[in-house]
Amino acid sequence: KLAAAETEARRARRGVWSEAAYAPVAAERLRPGSGGFHLVTATVRAVRPGDRNHYLELAPRVVLIIPHEHWKQYFMREEFYAGGPAALTGKRLEARGWLSERDGELRLRVGHPAMLTWLD
């Protein structure tokens, strides 16, 4: 219900959704210093496994981070993710959350599938 209410409010540009700061931004348009809350749209270019996280590359120096523990706990329950993280390569998405900058890279940590909307 909440997601449907948000979708309707975004379409009608009501409340915070009328503010430019909450409009989706393409990952390619993000630059250093673009931290803060964002709705980011992109196509997953590649998936890199790490010791503790999966890294979904969206644009040069823009990545989504999904901790392994969250993947196992939340993502594996949904059929869409059955192919594992690598199967997300080439999929178009919108991610919501706080961008932070580390080592010259913008990162958005995704802890739950509700933070992602698949556009394909």
6-15 residue pLDDT tens: 778 878 888 8
Q: Which two tokens stand for residue 2?
A: 């909440």
Q: Taking a C-beta distance cutoff of 8 angstroms, is the pair 80, 93 a contact?
A: no
Q: Which run of H or E residues covers position 2?
A: helix 2-12
- Which pTM was predicted? 0.87
Predicted pLDDT at 120: 78
Average pLDDT over residues 44-61: 96
What single letter denotes the amino acid at residue 111? G
Residues 6 or more apart whose CB falls under 8 angstroms from that of 8 comprise none
